[in-house]
Amino acid sequence: MNKKYIFLVGIGILIIAIDQILKIWILRHFELGESIVVINGYFNITYVRNFGAAFGFLSESHPMFREVFFLSMPPVALVVILMILRGVRENDYFQIVALSLVFGGAIGNYIDRIRFRYVVDFLDFHIQEKYTWPAFNIADSAIVCGVFILLVLMFFEARQKKPVVTAHS
């Protein structure tokens, strides 16, 4: 098996396992909306159900549309990731890891969508209860980190391809 696919499977399984274990723990030990303070004024563990996408995107849309959309899009995204990975060089570890993080995170949240029709979120960051970030989970974190790495790689790749302008005397 190709090294990049071993990375994809290994990192994907690690992300899925951590994500699902923590979500199971939340479901067993918390009531919906229940919260415990971890760092006073900054971080709580709070059980939240997210019927939308990141930051509640589409959470207010028609339930039938939401279900069809959120149950059909992840498989498409996973196929796209596999197609992209096919073209990645085997020694391009940053891109392989980034795609693997997105892949594992997408599957982690997809498992919730299939089981519950919503995603279990629990990481609740805020600043003194004045500025709050929408709750998220490990799968979301993996997706965001993977996309961030891909954006940084694209930025540096674009800078390297940019022609250098020199002054001629």
User: Are the CB atoms for 26 and 46 separated by under 8 Å?
Assistant: no
- Catalytic residue, chosen from 19, 112, 121, 124, is 121
d(CA 167, CA 165): 7
Please indicate whether residue 121 is annotated as part of the active site.
yes
Give phi and psi for 120, each to the nearest 5: -80, 120
d(CA 124, CA 60): 21
Query: Which residues carry out catalysis?
Result: 121, 140
